[in-house]
Chain A
Amino acid sequence: MLYDIFIDPFVQMYQMPDFFLQVLWEGFVAGILYALIALGFVLIFKASGVFNFAQGIMVVFAGLTLVGLNENGVPAYLALILTIGVMGVLAYGVERVVMRPLVNQPDIILLMATIGLTYFLIGFGEFVFGGEPKQMITEQLGLPTGSTAFEFGDRGLVILQHIDIAAAVIAILMVAALAIFFNKTRIGRALRAVADDHQAALSVGISLNQIWAIVWFAAGLVALATGIMWGARSDVSFALEIVAFKALPVLILGGFTSIPGAIVGGLIIGFGEKIGELYWGGLVGGGIESWLAYIIALIFLLFRPQGLFGERIIERI
């Protein structure tokens, strides 16, 4: 037993380096996708202190809108632009109808409001697009399909899916763009001011309503990117909403307020769950990755209760 836990997995990694590399690659891709989902949660939490329960369904809704428009004859790129517009309208609507009337309400009320928004989007999405899964329009969007295999002589091969490479590149670009936007632009600085202190931000003339709408829009764009990438890996269906909750351990790990935390947390969970499942999962019958992510997050919490990059909360009594 001790051999199976402490020695055998490492022997396997050495004996099958191609497979180990494949596991690392899959972990990296999963991690990037988890990070993208977590990013959507972080953006809204930073600006409003709201845990946006609806982030998962926003991923589905954005993907469905894109594919649904295309199915109705709208060319792929125009459908993409229109979907961005729809996410903008959704952000504006959420700010006007959900957020604004609930200003100064306790956090739990805002959380409940996002749960309500989730059910609204599920119902509205099913009403407009139906409940059937849809194929992502990967090729029409110019995203690569197919795969490339790297052979290591007689030691096996590593297969890289082109869509996974594209997902990694797009995620990195998106994170970089968001980082620049929030650090180098006036609106970004305003957002950080709102994140630090709502009242202080208001007192210097920052419009909370405008910031909230922008942040929900940014979270909508992140949801769209996630919907495209994850939809291309499987399909666009309401089951994707569940996958979005894979971001929870990422948030616990990375902190709810940190963009770098979402990225690093996503990668740790991605690598951790794949390596754990593939090399240690068999010891307990497999299927451990759904809870292993939480165990990894909890281990980190033992040492950093505020998450890897979360802000340390100091309360003076």
Chain B
Amino acid sequence: MNIKQLALGTAVAIGVGLSGVMTTAVQAEDTNYVPLLTYRTGPYAGSGIHIANGMHDYLKMLNERDGGIGGAKLVTEECETGYNAQKGVECYEATKGKGALVYNPYSTGITLQLIPKASVDKIPVLSMGYGLSAAADGTVFPWIFNVPDTYWDGASVVIKYIGEQEGGLENLKGKKIGYIFLDAGYGREPIPLLEQLSEKYGFELMQYPVPGAEMQNQSSQWLNVRRDRPDYMVMWGWGAMNPTAIKEAVKIRFPMDKFIGVWWSAGDDDAAAGGEGAKGYKAMNFSGVGREFAALDDIQKYVVDAGLSSTDAETIGSTLYNRGVLNSVIITEAIRTAQELTGKKAITGADMRMGLEALDLDEARLKELGLAGFAHPMKVTCEDHAGSHPVFIQEWDGKQWRQASGWIEPMTDLVRPLLEKAAAEYAEKNAPWPARTEPCPN
């Protein structure tokens, strides 16, 4: 070994040692680590970017304005999944060892992969309004949360709404309801419930699957729609599928007021793509419309204007941006709840699970957060991890969304027994599925 190598080796050793000291110093500060599985690239980026921005900006705003939550700063890290289940699992594996509190996969495919891992790694999964509907049964899935609603809740709301338009659910008999969906785990998820409802109310359910590779090539599906002449169309689309479907619906002159999307087909860009012809298109929603909320003003002030975000200021208040904000509100309120329950500033995944299970976001708290009316009050219980909260319908007026209905309750009486049955079947299929041992914090 010559002098040069010795000097270099010593320098490297000192550097490594110093970085260790510095890391320890940084870790000594109380923090809570929230990895964000996002997608800002690929075919689903059109939807994913707004969600990612909303999630990021709210968390960042709390750090900047309040110094984090309960005296502990939030440490966030984005991992790009491209809406790909394999990449999503890679992101999970790469970040779980850093003290991850919760995962938000933003893909039903990734969620399905993470469900069996959650109880093993003791890190909860929050699939807000997506994922496996049956996971709402907290007695079987103590680590999975899909508040405020499952896809089955959504499917029941859309049928209920259509029933209202027809003067009552009994008038659905003999009607044709078309269902166009992304032919993936996400789009197929509500089919069992729609089939049940079709049987119960006597309408004909016509299915139009759109393969992922054909998202921007849907003319065949819409020609089928033109031939079949369904009375209503329901869409479960995502990414590039949404604007293409709306354009195709306009093209075949389908009455837009009878075309209703799930809350993930409610993007501003999605509807705007249809131009004037898209006026009247409807979608379900459970998060605020517009930007008249104090918390969004704070995001603008502390994050966007301060240059701490990649968000285009004009998109603050768009449907999917607000959805991302709501997701972060649920995360942060669960952290706050967990801190109160445990008395700790820096919590663990297991603490976070308790925080999510004890979540009670009432009207007063929403107001306190600067988000009065931004969402329906929501409460999670140990038995019900979704809560089947009410949903409203919004309508595109050619320029922006406006609320077009009051809050509509899902058909809980119908959905809940089916959810419990599906949860039991899942546990049986995946035996030995661990029995719940986690104490209930409520």
Residues in chain B near residue A132, CB distance under 8 A: 45-46, 49, 269
Asked whether, in the complex, the Cβ of B217 is within 8 Å of the Cβ of A30, the reply is yes
Expressed in whole angstroms, the Cα–Cα distance for A237 and B244 within the complex equals 11
Expressed in whole angstroms, the Cα–Cα distance for A240 and B209 within the complex equals 19
Q: Which of B251-267 contact A (CB under 8 A)?
A: 251-253
How far in angstroms is the closest Cβ of chain A from B321? 12
B227 close to chain A: CB less than 8 A: yes
Known: A132-B46, A245-B213. 14 other contacts (CB 8 A): A122-B41, A131-B49, A133-B46, A135-B272, A159-B253, A235-B216, A235-B240, A235-B273, A238-B45, A242-B212, A243-B213, A281-B220, A286-B208, A290-B211
Expressed in whole angstroms, the Cα–Cα distance for A114 and B415 within the complex equals 51
Where the two chains meet, the residues of A that have a C-beta atom closer than 8 Å to any C-beta of B are 16, 19, 22-23, 26, 29-30, 122, 126, 130-133, 135, 145, 147, 159, 161, 230, 233-235, 237-240, 242-243, 245-246, 273-274, 277-278, 281-282, 285-287, 289-290
Residues in chain B near residue A30, CB distance under 8 A: 217, 219
Asked whether, in the complex, the Cβ of A289 is within 8 Å of the Cβ of B220, the reply is yes
Across the interface, name the chain A residue whose C-beta is closest to B209.
A287
How far in angstroms is the closest Cβ of chain B from A78? 24
Across the interface, name the chain B residue whose C-beta is closest to A147.
B251
Asked whether, in the complex, the Cβ of B223 is within 8 Å of the Cβ of A287, the reply is no
Pick the most buried of B207, B216, B239, B275: most chain A CB atoms within 10 A of its CB: B216
Expressed in whole angstroms, the Cα–Cα distance for A278 and B226 within the complex equals 11
Contact partner, A133, options B207, B217, B224, B269, Cβ 8 Å: B269
B215 close to chain A: CB less than 8 A: yes
Asked whether, in the complex, the Cβ of B220 is within 8 Å of the Cβ of A278, the reply is yes
How far in angstroms is the closest Cβ of chain B from A202? 40
Residues in chain B near residue A286, CB distance under 8 A: 207-209, 221, 224
Question: Given A240-B216, A243-B217, A245-B213, is A131 in contact with B45 using a C-beta cutoff of 8 Å?
Answer: yes
Question: Given A274-B219, A278-B227, is A242 in contact with B43 using a C-beta cutoff of 8 Å?
Answer: yes
Across the interface, name the chain B residue whose C-beta is closest to A16.
B227
Expressed in whole angstroms, the Cα–Cα distance for A238 and B212 within the complex equals 13
Residues in chain A near residue B227, CB distance under 8 A: 16, 19, 278
Residues in chain B near residue A145, CB distance under 8 A: 275
B40 close to chain A: CB less than 8 A: yes
B64 close to chain A: CB less than 8 A: no
Question: Given A132-B45, A278-B220, is A237 in contact with B240 using a C-beta cutoff of 8 Å?
Answer: yes
Asked whether, in the complex, the Cβ of B216 is within 8 Å of the Cβ of A273, the reply is no
Asked whether, in the complex, the Cβ of B243 is within 8 Å of the Cβ of A234, the reply is yes
B42 close to chain A: CB less than 8 A: yes
Contact partner, B244, options A235, A242, A273, Cβ 8 Å: A235
Expressed in whole angstroms, the Cα–Cα distance for A93 and B199 within the complex equals 61
Asked whether, in the complex, the Cβ of B215 is within 8 Å of the Cβ of A239, the reply is yes
Asked whether, in the complex, the Cβ of B251 is within 8 Å of the Cβ of A161, the reply is yes
Asked whether, in the complex, the Cβ of B219 is within 8 Å of the Cβ of A234, the reply is no
Expressed in whole angstroms, the Cα–Cα distance for A230 and B207 within the complex equals 26
Residues in chain B near residue A130, CB distance under 8 A: 49
Residues in chain A near residue B183, CB distance under 8 A: 287
Expressed in whole angstroms, the Cα–Cα distance for A282 and B215 within the complex equals 19
Asked whether, in the complex, the Cβ of B244 is within 8 Å of the Cβ of A234, the reply is yes
Contact partner, B223, options A133, A233, A245, A278, Cβ 8 Å: A278
B210 close to chain A: CB less than 8 A: yes
How far in angstroms is the closest Cβ of chain B from A175? 21
B336 close to chain A: CB less than 8 A: no
4 interchain residue pairs of minimum CB distance: A239-B43, A131-B45, A239-B240, A234-B216
How far in angstroms is the closest Cβ of chain B from A59? 11
Residues in chain B near residue A273, CB distance under 8 A: 220
B121 close to chain A: CB less than 8 A: no
Question: Given A161-B251, A286-B208, is A237 in contact with B46 using a C-beta cutoff of 8 Å?
Answer: yes
Asked whether, in the complex, the Cβ of B226 is within 8 Å of the Cβ of A19, the reply is yes
Per-residue interface assignment for chain B, residues 31 to 60, with 1 indicating a CB less than 8 Å from any chain A CB and 0 otherwise: 000000000111111101100000000000
Per-residue interface assignment for chain B, residues 84 to 99, with 1 indicating a CB less than 8 Å from any chain A CB and 0 otherwise: 0000000000000000
Expressed in whole angstroms, the Cα–Cα distance for A130 and B41 within the complex equals 8
Across the interface, name the chain B residue whose C-beta is closest to A34.
B217
Expressed in whole angstroms, the Cα–Cα distance for A147 and B224 within the complex equals 19
Asked whether, in the complex, the Cβ of B216 is within 8 Å of the Cβ of A237, the reply is yes
Expressed in whole angstroms, the Cα–Cα distance for A276 and B59 within the complex equals 50
Across the interface, name the chain B residue whose C-beta is closest to A274.
B220
Residues in chain B near residue A135, CB distance under 8 A: 272-273
Expressed in whole angstroms, the Cα–Cα distance for A286 and B245 within the complex equals 17
Asked whether, in the complex, the Cβ of B210 is within 8 Å of the Cβ of A287, the reply is yes
Pick the most buried of B46, B48, B224, B247: most chain A CB atoms within 10 A of its CB: B46
Asked whether, in the complex, the Cβ of A238 is within 8 Å of the Cβ of B41, the reply is yes
Contact partner, B217, options A23, A122, A246, Cβ 8 Å: A246
Contact partner, A22, options B48, B207, B226, Cβ 8 Å: B226
Expressed in whole angstroms, the Cα–Cα distance for A273 and B217 within the complex equals 12
Asked whether, in the complex, the Cβ of A274 is within 8 Å of the Cβ of B42, the reply is no
Asked whether, in the complex, the Cβ of A277 is within 8 Å of the Cβ of B42, the reply is no
B214 close to chain A: CB less than 8 A: yes
Across the interface, name the chain A residue whose C-beta is closest to B210.
A287
Asked whether, in the complex, the Cβ of A239 is within 8 Å of the Cβ of B239, the reply is yes
Across the interface, name the chain A residue whose C-beta is closest to B219.
A26
Expressed in whole angstroms, the Cα–Cα distance for A145 and B208 within the complex equals 27
Pick the most buried of B46, B220, B247, B272: most chain A CB atoms within 10 A of its CB: B220
Expressed in whole angstroms, the Cα–Cα distance for A122 and B41 within the complex equals 9
Residues in chain A near residue B253, CB distance under 8 A: 159
